[in-house]
A and B are shown apart, each in its own frame.
Chain A
Amino acid sequence: MSRHAPSRVELLQGTLDLLILRTLLAGPAHGHAIAKHIQRTSEDLLQVETGSLYPALHRLEAKGWIAASWELSKKGKRARFYRLTPLGRKQLAAEQSKWNTFSRAMGLILNPVDQEAQ
């Protein structure tokens, strides 16, 4: 929020699910690691609110796109690990292509070819 650097961007509605699924494509991870991974990979541009992360994780679990189990973390603590289910993999592919189309469309409108972008 306000205490963060202004260069941060707010997550668009609905994109968090996609980011979680994409993160889990690399392998199982717990909630904290997922948040950190998104933050790191986006070069700190995206900050995942914990307040929306856990509801999102549980919602995805309810939909059957990810599954959870208790495992030991690297430091030997019990943590709830999430992994992608086959259904989630399919969903990810669909969402990703939708997002690609969307961002391409946005790009085309915001940055017309005949006009120099800033």
Chain B
Amino acid sequence: MTSFIRKLRWLTRRTDKEVELRDELQFHLEEEAQQRQEGGLANDEARWAAHRDLGNVTLIEENTRAAWGWERLEQLARDAGYGLRQIRRNPAFSTIAIATLALGIGGITAMFSAFDAVLIRPLPYADADHLVMIWDDLSKSGDQSKHFPTPAEWLEWRRHNVVFTDIAATQPGNATLSGDSGPEQVPARKATANLWSVLGVKPLIGRVFTEEEDEKGVRVAVISHALWQRRYGGSPDVLGRKITVNDNPYDVVGVMPSEFYFLPALDIDIWMPASFPAWMRRLLSWHDLQVVARLKPGVTLERARESMAALSLQVTAQYFRPHQVLVTPLREELAGKTQTALVVLLCASAALLLIACVNLANLLMSRGAARGREVAVRAALGAGRRRLIAQFLTEALVLAGLGAVAGVALAVPAMQFLEMVVPETMGKVRLSLDWRVLAFSACTAIAATLTFGLAPALRGSRLSLQEGLREAGRGTAGVRSHWLQHSLVVIETALAVVLLTSGGLLLETFQHLRNTDLGIRSEKLLTFETPLFRYRDFERRVAFVSAQLESIRSIPGVVNAGAISRIPLTVNDQAAFYLLAGQSGDGVPEQVALSRVVTRDYFQTIGARLREGRFFEISDRRSQSPVAIVNQTFADRNFPSRSSLGAQLKFGALGEKGHWYMIVGVVKDIHDRGVTEELRPTIYRLHEQADQSNDQPSGIVVRTAVEPTSIVSAIRQAIGSVDKNQPIWRVQTIKEIVDRQLSTPAQSTTLLSAFALLALLLASVGLYGVLSFAVTQRTNEIGLRMALGATSGEILLSFGKRGLALTSAGLAMGLLLAAIASRSLSNLLYGFRPSYLPIVTAVSVIVIAVAVLACFVPARRASRVDPVVALRNE
């Protein structure tokens, strides 16, 4: 180690060392001459004798320099210099090689930066790998498999489980801030007091709330760093300050650090104690919690799953819906579908790099054969095989290094694009070229060097001397040298086919998603929310909502406006049990429907279409016999063979006092839960008749004739004129909602398609290269065959056949691999089953067509060989 450092230090003063060595030897000469003179020799003679005695000074100098230990480094530098010269000498070859590598390394570098940011980097919680989420599995009772647990379950789990150190829960709860400055609606969440200890996070300043405050329902709040900065100027005296949340006074006790975020959204500004009321603690049907737990040290996920499944069945045994639970790693929840997308894309970029390497290996081998004479001369001059391999590898490393530099330059814009892929739940992830990413691409370059450089180096250095010198210039490599190049072509074709097929599957899925009938006309439709907690009284709420809508409709450019309890497409499950007339209560566990409360003009505003019956009308007034509209899924499920019109159902309130609703219309399915989500039975009720429902139509939809965003300020004014303290928030168009939900599939499809096309391009270049080389190498043979009577058509065919044989082998192998690979894609197909046959056909046609093109040029060249010229070459 120390000697290494010493050598390095020497390296910095290398010219000094050279001078010193010369001085030292000079001194030796003089000393020797002097002694010989003293021994009686004449001046000149003594000098000569000393020189003779010393011997070959240059050789001594060289040997001594070797002792300095730089030989290897110098060799490396020489080879690298030689490599650079080779690159300059063959600009066409070098450009192709470097560009190929740049594509490969750039792609994988960019993908790695996203992969690293989403799936490797630590989450802002202590020991986050031990954190899991727990969900109710209600799939057996016809509801979704991953459902929110209830406070009652949380209490039981927390008390009886043996696998977690603790379990915390959060509950939805939005907040309107008022008082100190204008009304502001902020995302908020109720949390059990142990949330912070389970996550292992501490507030930046102040404290979090205590178990006792949670129990007693004390009004305290922990606020986000963003809210602290935005509304309270980042001043530390916010602690202990009274703020007005939902018209109630709360004490701010703590501020979270800026990097903290937690599900379900990263912009939650206020955390309040959950303080579950006594009635909620008993109810096994109040499904609205998100539950996070910390695994005990040494407990595996498997073990936790088994233990919790048993416990859950025990807890819900008395309940009419006994069920199991799902335990999922927190990171998986945060990354969502992006995780699969990133894994698939990383694999795709690796495949692309592999193709690039295979291509390059082929190119280098072709060139290596052409360089046979150079190698033979070097070997004749005494270069050992090791030395030759080292030289080949260094040249390859120089290429890879340049490719990596160009690749990193390509990766930067790609990373900006990839930033959009980062899931919304993960916070603002910036992808940057930090040391991790750079180190990764350096490693990639080295791995690539070994992949594409080793085979050519081993082969190139094996040349036997005599043969090499004799055959110089003619270069007819034996049959043996072909099989490796041929199998490389087959491999890269197969990889390209896998990428093309996968890309095709995603493309078809994306087309399907894009063309999904959302059940509404999505253009020029503005949505926003108006929290109605200040209108708890039913009559006042109805009056306010209709006054509010009336004022919006009077804005120029507004066509219509309506209100609904949940903005369509925004994955929000507000479901309840229903009971059809004539059924006993036993059927209820199977019957869950989404519940939506709407105003009269809602369906017309969003452009929904009726299958049968009618929409809500003026005549539908508050009464003991209210009406309901159901969606197609509901009608098909409950009335498969007859019209559902006129059927009676109870919804939510199933008891004696519950209203019987009469179905008056069936609406074509609306994707209420989100574009990519499954449809569910849904029941729509009219706000004016929904006095038995807690749902408030706080979501407003506005159909406009003009650009929707241009009238936002007019809408604020209009609502302000009805109630100046009414906040509005989450203003967005339906188009924005749709685009956001399709962004992950859109981006993964785009990227995978891009990778697939590049792969196809590289594979065809590879095929072209191998065939061209074969033609060049076999010019003599072709000439001979033609002289013996082969027609140019026959020659063309023989080369074309070979190219197509290679391609077909690659195609077959690729389709087989694609069938295996497509399984890992299933998560990205959103339940859609793309039809394989058209994709496989399309891929085959494209690959064969490109291969024919790539074969044709060299094959034609072969067929045009002039036998006279070719044989004279001999």
Chains A and B are bound partners = yes
Tell me the A residues contacting B by CB distance below 8 Å: 30-32, 36, 49-52, 54-56, 58-59, 61-64, 70, 73, 75, 77-80
3 closest pairs, A vs B, by CB? A59-B67, A58-B67, A55-B63
Partner of A32, one of B32, B60, B69: B32
Q: Does B31 contact A (CB under 8 A)?
A: yes
Partner of B55, one of A50, A58, A73: A50
Is the pair A32, B67 in contact by a Cβ cutoff of 8 Å? no
- The interface size of chain B toward A, counting residues with CB under 8 Å, comes to 29
Q: Does B820 contact A (CB under 8 A)?
A: no
Partner of A50, one of B6, B53, B69: B53
Known: A50-B55, A50-B60. A58 touches B68 (CB 8 A): yes
Is the pair B27, A51 in contact by a Cβ cutoff of 8 Å? no
Is the pair A78, B27 in contact by a Cβ cutoff of 8 Å? yes
What residues on A are CB-neighbors of B68 within 8 Å?
Answer: 58, 62
Is the pair B30, A62 in contact by a Cβ cutoff of 8 Å? no
A54 vs B3: C-alpha distance when bound (angstroms): 18
Interface CB pairs A-B, < 8 A, 19: A30-B31, A31-B28, A49-B55, A51-B59, A51-B63, A54-B28, A55-B64, A55-B67, A56-B67, A58-B21, A58-B64, A58-B67, A58-B68, A62-B7, A70-B20, A73-B27, A73-B31, A77-B31, A80-B20
A62 vs B67: C-alpha distance when bound (angstroms): 7
Is the pair A54, B64 in contact by a Cβ cutoff of 8 Å? yes
What residues on B are CB-neighbors of A30 within 8 Å?
Answer: 27, 31
Q: Does B181 contact A (CB under 8 A)?
A: no
What residues on B are CB-neighbors of A32 within 8 Å?
Answer: 27-28, 31-32
What residues on A are CB-neighbors of B10 within 8 Å?
Answer: 62
Is the pair A51, B55 in contact by a Cβ cutoff of 8 Å? yes
Binary contact track B19-39/A, C-beta < 8 Å → 1, others 0: 011011101101110110000
What residues on A are CB-neighbors of B24 within 8 Å?
Answer: 31, 54, 79-80
Is the pair A54, B60 in contact by a Cβ cutoff of 8 Å? yes
A30 vs B23: C-alpha distance when bound (angstroms): 12
Is the pair A62, B69 in contact by a Cβ cutoff of 8 Å? yes
Binary contact track B58-72/A, C-beta < 8 Å → 1, others 0: 011001101111000
What residues on A are CB-neighbors of B56 within 8 Å?
Answer: 51
A54 to chain B, nearest CB (A): 5
What residue of chain A has the Cβ atom nearest to residue B20's Cβ?
A80
Is the pair B67, A51 in contact by a Cβ cutoff of 8 Å? no
Q: Does B713 contact A (CB under 8 A)?
A: no
Q: Does B54 contact A (CB under 8 A)?
A: yes
Tell me the B residues contacting A by CB distance below 8 Å: 2-3, 6-7, 10, 20-21, 23-25, 27-28, 30-32, 34-35, 53-56, 59-60, 63-64, 66-69
A39 vs B32: C-alpha distance when bound (angstroms): 14
Is the pair A64, B64 in contact by a Cβ cutoff of 8 Å? no
What residues on B are CB-neighbors of A75 within 8 Å?
Answer: 34
A90 to chain B, nearest CB (A): 14
What residues on A are CB-neighbors of B25 within 8 Å?
Answer: 54
A31 vs B53: C-alpha distance when bound (angstroms): 14
Is the pair B23, A78 in contact by a Cβ cutoff of 8 Å? yes
A60 to chain B, nearest CB (A): 8
Partner of A77, one of B27, B32, B53, B63: B27
Is the pair A80, B27 in contact by a Cβ cutoff of 8 Å? yes
A64 vs B9: C-alpha distance when bound (angstroms): 13
Given contacts A50-B55, A50-B60, A51-B55, 20 further A-B contacts (CB under 8 A): A31-B27, A31-B28, A32-B27, A32-B28, A32-B32, A36-B35, A51-B54, A51-B59, A54-B24, A54-B28, A54-B63, A55-B64, A55-B66, A56-B67, A58-B68, A61-B67, A62-B68, A64-B2, A64-B3, A70-B20
A80 vs B25: C-alpha distance when bound (angstroms): 10
Is the pair A50, B54 in contact by a Cβ cutoff of 8 Å? yes
A59 vs B63: C-alpha distance when bound (angstroms): 10
Partner of A79, one of B27, B63, B69: B27
What residues on A are CB-neighbors of B34 within 8 Å?
Answer: 75
A106 vs B227: C-alpha distance when bound (angstroms): 88
Known: A50-B28, A55-B64. A62 touches B23 (CB 8 A): no
Is the pair A63, B32 in contact by a Cβ cutoff of 8 Å? no
What residues on A are CB-neighbors of B3 within 8 Å?
Answer: 62-64
Is the pair B23, A55 in contact by a Cβ cutoff of 8 Å? no
Is the pair A55, B6 in contact by a Cβ cutoff of 8 Å? no
What residue of chain A has the Cβ atom nearest to residue B55's Cβ?
A51
What residue of chain B has the Cβ atom nearest to residue A47's Cβ?
B53
Max count, chain A CB within 10 A of own CB: residue among B24, B60, B68: B24
A53 vs B873: C-alpha distance when bound (angstroms): 56
What residues on A are CB-neighbors of B64 within 8 Å?
Answer: 54-55, 58
A11 to chain B, nearest CB (A): 15
What residues on B are CB-neighbors of A62 within 8 Å?
Answer: 3, 6-7, 10, 67-69
A91 vs B24: C-alpha distance when bound (angstroms): 25
What residues on B are CB-neighbors of A54 within 8 Å?
Answer: 21, 24-25, 28, 60, 63-64
A49 vs B31: C-alpha distance when bound (angstroms): 16
Known: A62-B69, A64-B3. A55 touches B60 (CB 8 A): yes
Max count, chain B CB within 10 A of own CB: residue among A36, A55, A63, A79: A55
A64 vs B68: C-alpha distance when bound (angstroms): 12
A50 vs B69: C-alpha distance when bound (angstroms): 20
What residues on A are CB-neighbors of B21 within 8 Å?
Answer: 54, 58
B530 to chain A, nearest CB (A): 80
A10 vs B757: C-alpha distance when bound (angstroms): 70
